[in-house]
Amino acid sequence: MARKTRFVWLGVILLGTGVLLGVQVGAYMSDDNTYESLKKLEDAFLVVTQKYVEDVSSSQLAESAIKGMLKELDPHSVYIDAERMRQVNEDFNASFEGIGISYELIPGPENRDTLAVLNPLPGGPSEDVGLLSGDRIVEVDGKSAIGFTNEDVQRSLKGPGGTTVDVTVRRPGYARKLSFTITRDKIPINTLDAAYMLDGQTGFVKLNRFARTTHSEFRSALRQLNSAGMQRLVLDLRGNAGGYRDMAVRVSDELLPAGKLIVSTQGRFADTNEEFRSRSGGLFETKPVIVLVDENSASASEIVAGALQDHDRALIVGRRTFGKGLVQQQFVLNDGSSLRVTVSKYYTPSGRLIQTPYLNGDRQAYYTSKWEQMEEDAAADRESAISSIPDSLKYRTDGGRLVLGGGGIVPDFIVYSDTLSPLMQTILAKGLERSFVRDWLDKRGSDFKSEWSDRRNEFFSDFEVKGEDLTDFVEFAGRNSVTIREGAERTVLGPDEEPTEFTTADFAADTALIKSLIKGRIAWRIYDRSAWYPVYRTFDTVLQEAMLLWTEAEEMAYTEAARG
């Protein structure tokens, strides 16, 4: 059985279910105590603003008061200031206005980082004018871009559609600078990272979140894969922190026959109690499905996984999901900031509460408990989890299979990623493979990219990282303070150690993985992010384990289809 990953990032996006432009607060003030409390808050606010020894910002006081109120509630009721709200809206509207590049900041001396183009987005304004992957943007509107921060990039390159920005770039292999005038436009932000065939019958779809365009992207991917002969589907929701509930419902609907309950909500007021059911016309309603999840799959991802598991439409493979099952409603305030307040809770079709337990007002304990749960899960398998859980948290699917409550979605098959070696941890932490590939491509200029640009499938099957490339990588690592010396012993880390010296035995053990990493990074830079996944699959142990489970997935799918 594969082992667990040592490092996990719990970057869970807090999710709303909609925007309420106005609310009649009086409808919820049912007694005099509410009015008295509001009056008390108003009086305190006036005393501080009018009598305090120094000038105080009334807006900061108001924000502090709001944050203080929400701090006493559940972990997912939050205040979002106006600036952050604009960024959130861009993310979940799945578009923004700008020049259309993905970029990186190459570290330089004295914080003088260089802005480099990772990829011009397909069909975007930068691609139209001829910007290429690897270009270094050195000037924006006649001013130096050396030392730009991420905030500088956003401020300089984003802007209203139809406006222009002048950029000057240095292109590897060119002696002189190149200048471009780029007209900003609306840029889509895709929520689908990859959609391709793993083999002659298995489709693979990777979703990174659930935004406004997710259903249309997913539906297009299903059409494409169906046309390619897909007979079974892997839906990868690992790391997907959620998004719009409606998108989760629609994605589930594509995989379920008509009339199936997808998710229900229950709250304090009747108007928050809802049921969402599937309709006819899904593009993949009966054939086998496997869903990959992990501890960073949350909210909308858990709606999809829970619905497909409860209706025996998919095997769930991976690790217990985050357990974010509280429904926030968004209330927009007069300055563009927002409150996201929990109004109900999510339940799967079998009646499982998705939310993990919490205590109001203790957010630190809540997130600490997540780490503790992951450690417990890592030491257990599904059988021991079943034996340790009370009967009140045991539920049955449509077909009578046992599924577990208690928060999050517990997979049907628990699989942990292999623990990375000390050498691989160091390579990834320092980003050595990324920097090496950037330099490797710079040395080869545009000829290498031109050779492979129209041969994507051939690249995956035919391109190989050669021995001399690995030798160059070892030398590159040495120049970046990571030494590979002769030695037959593997490096063993003590607690909190960060070694910079490894042995040739370490390198030999990880050679295949290092070659795949380098090849994957080259593919990403030549094509786009989606090109990473066909290479990454070669060392994706969870996916490899899932591919051994099709007998179980097919038996369940066809039994459920026959049952109707």
Q: What is the CATH number of the domain that holds 148?
A: 2.30.42.10
Other CB atoms within 10 A of residue 528 CB: 20
Please check whether residue 27 lies inside any domain of the structure.
Answer: no
Whole-prediction pTM value? 0.83
Full domain range(s) for residue 401: 192-326+344-417
Alpha helix stretches (DSSP H) within 263-346: 300-310
Contact criterion met (CB below 8 Å) for 167 and 137? yes
Choice among 206, 260, 287, 324 that is catalytic:
324
pLDDT of residue 323: 94
Choice among 310, 312, 506, 510 that is catalytic:
310
Other CB atoms within 10 A of residue 40 CB: 10
Instruction: Let me know if 435 is a catalytic residue.
Output: no
**Same domain membership, residue 493 and residue 365:** no
Please check whether residue 22 lies inside any domain of the structure.
Answer: no
**Same domain membership, residue 427 and residue 383:** no
Q: How far apart are alpha carbons 298 and 243 in whole angstroms?
A: 9
Question: Domain total for the chain?
Answer: 3
Instruction: Let me know if 220 is a catalytic residue.
Output: no
Report residue 63: phi and psi, to 5°.
-65, -40
Contact criterion met (CB below 8 Å) for 525 and 441? yes
Average pLDDT across each block of 10 residues of the chain; the chain has 564 residues. List them in order: 34 33 42 80 91 91 90 91 83 80 86 87 87 92 94 92 95 88 90 96 97 96 98 97 95 98 96 96 97 95 98 97 93 91 96 91 78 66 73 93 93 86 90 93 88 94 96 96 91 73 95 96 92 91 96 92 76
Other CB atoms within 10 A of residue 134 CB: 23
Choice among 126, 299, 337, 421 that is catalytic:
299
**End position of a domain, from candidates 142, 169, 188:** 188
Please check whether residue 320 lies inside any domain of the structure.
Answer: yes
Please check whether residue 510 lies inside any domain of the structure.
Answer: yes
**End position of a domain, from candidates 188, 218, 239:** 188
Please check whether residue 517 lies inside any domain of the structure.
Answer: yes
**Same domain membership, residue 217 and residue 361:** yes
pLDDT of residue 1: 39
pLDDT of residue 377: 67
pLDDT of residue 381: 67
pLDDT of residue 388: 72
Instruction: Let me know if 299 is a catalytic residue.
Output: yes
Q: How far apart are alpha carbons 121 and 198 in whole angstroms?
A: 25
